[in-house]
Chains A and B, each alone.
Chain A
């Protein structure tokens, strides 16, 4: 899944650098990548979502 996310990021950066007219699409891809990052980290840490320290 990290591979997929990095491909999305690469595509987004390409749009920003080479196709600035596609700003809206690029921003949507940025949001999707961010959500995917949050989702994957949450999946990986779902047995203890908060930092495992003393509160």
Chain B
């Protein structure tokens, strides 16, 4: 043992250990103090003018606290309470890194907040550094022996004193930067801090973080799944006033044996079949909805989580698509020779009637963080359409179009009312209040049925405007709509089928009327 090191005032019976444990720990403190924290304050801060945001400050302070615990261990030995503090601080640091990185992790390539270092933004490095701290702490704990658990303060050796000195210098510099950037209490760090300056004229001290706001666990991600129980179905109280009603021709219960409530409906003129879905089931029926021709029950949790199926449509070449509320989808193709064994992984029942072609997710931009309850296919443009439903945080009606070839977002918009349509919104009302649960395409127009206020919107796909709207009286929680000839077939959550007359073609035709305008008639 080296007894030549200087004793420290206040140290009792100094116990000096030339132990690799303390040498490694001192080096680790030096690294953590100088590389991330020291460079952040001297290079990024003082030299380049970078000011940490409020979250960066706390992450930086967390690293400083881990170094500080290291100094405790150098001086007093690896007592359990110090190890406990180090683990707690590092765990909180990882959480802070996840919280901060989570804000930006899904942005496009190269995008982020503040400065980039070696191809990653600073908050990303914080997550990595805390992870490294945990790894290093684990390795150091493996080196702890019984004789390290002393009770008296140690006398620090050269490299340990160097670690302590570096710590004081770096923390002192951070105190200077914190005073300039955040100010004395009660001022605190800012979400969007001003560039660092040594000149007081450029200092901005803020209390904005103390402003009262709603506390939430998940913030804008706390979106409730859609539920039709509370929707009001009376068209008379809807956002659109004086809607002409459609004539109800027939209303009767479905005679089909299903594994749950219907969630959507589609019709295919070429095969004269209906396509009906439940939360997990896909059913092909005859043209009168009297007999199931084939069905299957999808395993919604296998691979991509499709969740609750909410929309469906016939696609090209006999394929069908079932879309979950979460915009995940599965594409199936009927096959009389399907292998039940091969399809075991995809289907829970009737595994020899369909093949699964693909399963993935629609990605949206405007419709992000909004669920959908409908899907439609337009063969003319070879595109799948979905329409959003409002939720507890956001009320927006967004039409999304996905190219069938790559099933990638191609267009999104909130359709306004066509000025020539004569439609009028009530005072302080908006189409965003509608809860579209069914959609179908015909003649270049997207027919969307809202369970809220029993309203049928006709959206011209060329104009991207609502060109007509009608009330459908007597509907209760409708979940799907299909177009067959001159009639609309509507199913609801209670298993009722309502047939109404298809509205007359709007006098207003798309200025961009496409040659394929009539090709999609009767399809969905």
Q: How many A-B residue pairs have CB under 8 A?
A: 169
- The dominant DSSP class at the A interface is helix
Q: A10, A14, A41: which has the most chain B beta carbons within 10 Å?
A: A41
A40 to chain B minimum Cβ distance, whole angstroms, is: 6
Q: Give Cα distance in the complex from A2 to B189, angstroms.
A: 7
Q: Which residues of A contact B171 (CB under 8 A)?
A: 6, 9-10, 13
Report yes or no: B209 in contact with A17, Cβ–Cβ below 8 A: no
B211-232 residues with Cβ-Cβ distance < 8 A to A are: 213-221
Across the interface, B99 reaches (CB within 8 A) one of A13, A43, A45, namely: A45
Scan A23-42; emit 1 where CB is below 8 A from any B CB, else 0: 10011001101100110110
Residue B69 CB within 8 A of the other chain = yes
Q: Which residues of A contact B75 (CB under 8 A)?
A: 16-17, 20, 23
Residue B178 CB within 8 A of the other chain = yes
Q: Which residues of B contact A1 (CB under 8 A)?
A: 182, 185-189
Scan B88-103; emit 1 where CB is below 8 A from any A CB, else 0: 1100100110110111
B7 to chain A minimum Cβ distance, whole angstroms, is: 10
- The dominant DSSP class at the B interface is helix
Give the interface size bracket for A toward B.
35 or more
Residue B57 CB within 8 A of the other chain = yes
Report yes or no: A6 in contact with B218, Cβ–Cβ below 8 A: no
Task: Indicate whether A2 sits within 8 Å of B210 (C-beta atoms), given known contacts A18-B8, A27-B81.
Answer: no
Q: Give Cα distance in the complex from A12 to B167, angstroms.
A: 11
Q: Which residues of A contact B65 (CB under 8 A)?
A: 9, 30, 33-34, 37
Q: Give Cα distance in the complex from A23 to B45, angstroms.
A: 33
Q: A1, A2, A20: which has the most chain B beta carbons within 10 Å?
A: A2
B402 to chain A minimum Cβ distance, whole angstroms, is: 19
Q: Which residues of A contact B220 (CB under 8 A)?
A: 48, 52
Q: Give Cα distance in the complex from A37 to B98, angstroms.
A: 16
Q: Give Cα distance in the complex from A10 to B61, angstroms.
A: 11
Across the interface, B72 reaches (CB within 8 A) one of A5, A7, A30, A45, namely: A30
Report yes or no: B99 in contact with A51, Cβ–Cβ below 8 A: yes
Chain A residue with the shortest CB-CB distance to B89:
A34
Q: Measuring CB to CB, which residues of chain B are less than 8 angstroms from any residue of chain A? A: 8-12, 54-55, 57-58, 61-62, 64-65, 68-69, 71-72, 75-76, 81, 85, 88-89, 92, 95-96, 98-99, 101-103, 105-106, 153, 156, 161, 164, 167-168, 171-172, 174-175, 178-179, 182-189, 191, 209-210, 213-221
Q: Measuring CB to CB, which residues of chain A are less than 8 angstroms from any residue of chain B? A: 1-7, 9-10, 12-14, 16-23, 26-27, 30-31, 33-34, 37-38, 40-41, 43-55
